[in-house]
Structure formats: structure tokens, C-alpha cells
Structure 1
Amino acid sequence: MPRQHITAHIAILGCVCLGLQAYLFHLDQPVSAETTHASGQDFSSPASVLVVVNKERPLLDPAYAPGDLADVGGVALRREASDAFVRMTADAAGAGVTITGVSGFRTAEAQAALHADYAGRYGSDVAESISALPGQSEHQTGLAVDIGAADGACSLQACFEGTGAGAWAASNARRYGFIVRYPAGAEQITGYAYEPWHLRYVGPAAAGKIHDAGITLEQYAGLYEPPKPPSPPSKPAHEPLP
């Protein structure tokens, strides 16, 4: 066999061996939890503004704290969310509506204390519907902000939707990248009672789609499947004689 043919065969065998080695290496790696949606959007990493944190999807690090927090109106939010919140409240003020920040980022310790306080006052069942455990709270991501009206009317109550601040936010927050995270009628999906004051930053593109479709972040991320209706009872093989 000519020398050039031998050299070519050796090169081909070398490529095959390298490919096989890479394939076997890939198979040997641990399979990590899927973090990205089919669209390429990341709903698992706390670094993503689309991260989904709820009772079923706690933060991987229970003590997580974002590194880019910025103070805005006395509450701390991640820089991107705080910049958007500044623009939103400024535009609301220009329309004659004052929106205040009530609560932003909370540490795991602060969330634990808040949850324990609610449990002591209202009982564990109610506390579970209105407050998250540490590691399960959106506030710990630095992307959630509770808002209020200037006069404190209906603060942290469902009637906040009827205040000027609540109504303006419900109609306009999406333009700044915020959604009403726990909408009315979605308790089975989100795990929490209706909170018209709780805004979550997801970015303008996602916020617009979520608002226009009338869905939750869980549904947008494809993480919720409606319960299947019960199957009808099976009929006996032979109908009983009359």
C-alpha cells in the first residue's frame, strides 16, 4: 500500500478514536437539571430575570443573595429591576399617581422571621398561602417588589387593586418589565393568594406576553400542567338484566 494511503488511514482512525473518546466522556458526565426552556430562556438560574421560584422550585442555594442590589426608594432590587422601577414610578408620578416601594429584597433570615410571624398570627395554613418559606421567596431573588399607595390605603391587601397606584400598575407595569405575579384566580398555579401589590420583574418582552395572554409566570415557562379530569367509571362487561 502506498505510504500516502497508510498516512490517510492513520489520520482517519485517529479522528474516529478522538470522536469516540469525546462521546464516552459525555456519557460519563452527570446529568444536570434542565435549566433552559426550548426557547433558550433560563427559568432556573437565579442570575436570570426569568427565574421561577416557588414552593416546588426553591433556590438551589437557600442563602442566595444577588450581588448587584441597588437601593430605590428605601427598598433593594437588582440593578436592572431597580432601574426599571425608577422609570415606572417616575412615569406614574407624571400621570398623577404615586407608587411607593414597600418591600424588595429579603434575606433568607428575614423571610424566615416573616413567615414565622404570619404563622404565629394566622396559623400555618394561612401563612402558607400568603408567605413563602426561606429559599422559596421571590423577594430573595431581588426581582420582586411590593408596592403601595402614598396614603397607605389597602397596603398589602386585595383592595389595593382599587387604589390609583394599584390600578395604574396593573395597566402599565408590563411596559417596564413587571407583572402582577400572583393574579386573582391563579392560586392553584402560583400557590399563593391574590396579591395585586406584588410585582415581579421579568423584562419587558416577557412581561408583555404574560400580561397579554393573561397567564402566570409558571404557565409562560411551561411549568404548569392543569390537573386531568377524573376518568369516567368503567362500564361492566355485560349489562345487568332487567
Structure 2
Amino acid sequence: MLAAGCAPAEEKPVNEPETEQSTPSEKPAVEEETGPVLDASYFNELKEVDGVQVIQNPENMMVLVNKEFALPSDYTPPDLVRPNVQFSFGDQDIEKSYMRKEAAAALETLFKGAEEDGLFLFAVSGYRSYDRQEEILAAGAAASSEEEALKSIAPPGMSEHQSGLAMDISSESNGFELNQSFEATEEGKWLKDHAHEYGFILRYPKGMEDVTQYIYEPWHFRYIGKEAAAMIHEKGWTLEDYFNEMKPAE
């Protein structure tokens, strides 16, 4: 099965901006009598375009991207950098080796944390452009059918990879593959248990397919910041559940 994170190596380099590394920003949720409240800036601002709900604030670090809410077709994160981590494809400077600055810094810390516990992670696929997502979906549809492909491949604009906040991760023990066997590896187990400590969530958990509208992907991790990630991990939520529970601060 072609997984959402899989992509051939023939990709264009992304120019790294000459900017200083940012410090992760945290605006904690506040517990009020009516329930947990989150700064309104973290909620999607939407505009309907040709029947699609298009996100107008895509640089929001907690942007909710799924089959209901799409990123603009011309959106490219302005602060893409290449994290200093091991990649499954080595030192190739290609599109999928990039992430947004804050997420990249957190990924570096995550990989170091795993290494301190004797485990070695490998980044496989990060940022992906709208056009690249179109190519991947077309290839998946040609291999089976579009209906089958859409179970594991996001439509263009509806992939978290375009946000620059997600990274597919694997290990040498799993042959650097992106598949559900990764959950049984020591690296996959470690990520499931510890990724939230670094601000990442397992974005498409097992048993939550009806909520996320995607198959279980034990390799796909999304950066949202430590506080939100800790809450989601503790409560066993998806990102969709999180925003259903949170209320925007007035």
C-alpha cells in the first residue's frame, strides 16, 4: 500500500532562509468553568472556495488540516529549514527533508532524546508541496483506484505535510519503511510513549480512523507544542477531538 508519507527521491531542493532559529512558542490552554479555553488565534480561519473550506491562517502552529479543512494551493511555509537529524535517504537536500523552524528544532530534540535512550530514529518525509501531493495521489490512484488511494493519501491541500509541521519517521530495524509494522519496533513504541514530551503527537492513531478519516499511521508525527501534545496524549484524543473540546478565548 502506498502510504501518505511515501515519496520517491526525485524532488527539488528547498532554499533555506537565512533567519535565526526561533524559540518554540506556547500559549497554554486555560481551564474555565465552561471548559478548557485556547487562544482564538490557534483556531482555523476559513473561507469557502469552490465548495472547499480553505484555511486563511496557515502559519498557525496548531493549524488543523484534514479532509474538511484545506491549505491554500499556493501556500509554502516561509520558514522552512532542514533539521539536523538522520534521514533515511542520507544527505540529499530535497523538498521532503524540510520542516518549519520551530518544528525542526523540536524534531532535533526528539531524535536526541531517543538516542539518549539507545534508539536511532530516521526522518523519511517532511514538507511536501501541493503539486507534489497531486503527483502522489495520482500515482496511488493509478496503482489501484482513487477511492482506495484516498484511504491513505491526502488530497492536495489536505495533507499535513504541506504545513511543514509533520514528519514521517522510521528506523533501520523497520528497513526505513513507512508501514504499520513500525508500531512493533522499539523505536515505534518509544515514539508513541514519548513524542508528546517534545511537542509531537501521533496524528493518525489506531482505532480513530472514523475521526481522522485516515488509516492508522504509526510513523506520522505532527508538531503542535508541548502543552497541547501532553493533553492529547493524556486524554487519548486526536487533533480533531482537541479542537472539538477547546473553546476560543473571548
Q: What TM-score results when the alignment is normalised by the length of structure 1?
A: 0.74
Higher alpha-carbon Rg: 1
Q: CA deviation at 1:55?
A: 0.7
Q: Do residues 67 (structure 1) and 78 (structure 2) align? A: yes
Determine the structure 1 residue equivalent to 2:206.
Answer: 184
4+ runs of 1 displaced by more than 4 Å?
A: none
Report if the CA contact (8 A) 1:145-1:198 is conserved.
Answer: yes
Q: CA deviation at 1:150?
A: 2.2
- Measure, in 2, the Cα distance between the counterparts of 1:145 and 1:43: 22
SS of corresponding position for 1:82: helix
RMSD: 1.8
Q: Do residues 164 (structure 1) and 191 (structure 2) align? A: no
1:43 aligned partner, one-letter code: F
Question: Whose strand fraction is larger, Structure 1's or Structure 2's?
Answer: 2
Q: Do residues 57 (structure 1) and 69 (structure 2) align? A: yes
Determine the structure 2 residue equivalent to 1:205.
Answer: 227
Q: Do residues 46 (structure 1) and 68 (structure 2) align? A: no
Determine the structure 2 residue equivalent to 1:139.
Answer: 161
Gaps of 5+ in 2: 1-35, 45-56, 88-96
Q: CA deviation at 1:154?
A: 6.9
Question: Whose helix fraction is larger, Structure 1's or Structure 2's?
Answer: 1
SS of corresponding position for 1:199: strand
Report if the CA contact (8 A) 1:98-1:149 is conserved.
Answer: yes
SS of corresponding position for 2:136: helix
Q: CA deviation at 1:117?
A: 1.0
Match of 1:112 among 134, 140, 143: 134
Report if the CA contact (8 A) 1:129-1:191 is conserved.
Answer: yes
- Measure, in 2, the Cα distance between the counterparts of 1:201 and 1:183: 15
SS of corresponding position for 1:171: helix
- Measure, in 2, the Cα distance between the counterparts of 1:130 and 1:211: 23
Report if the CA contact (8 A) 1:184-1:194 is conserved.
Answer: yes
1:64 aligned partner, one-letter code: Y
Report if the CA contact (8 A) 2:174-2:185 is conserved.
Answer: no
Match of 1:84 among 82, 98, 106: 106
Q: CA deviation at 1:177?
A: 0.3
- Measure, in 1, the Cα distance between the counterparts of 2:156 and 2:201: 22
- Measure, in 2, the Cα distance between the counterparts of 1:126 and 1:145: 23
Report if the CA contact (8 A) 2:205-2:218 is conserved.
Answer: yes
- Measure, in 2, the Cα distance between the counterparts of 1:94 and 1:122: 42
Of structures 1 and 2, the one scoring higher in RCO (CA 8 A, sep 6+) is 2
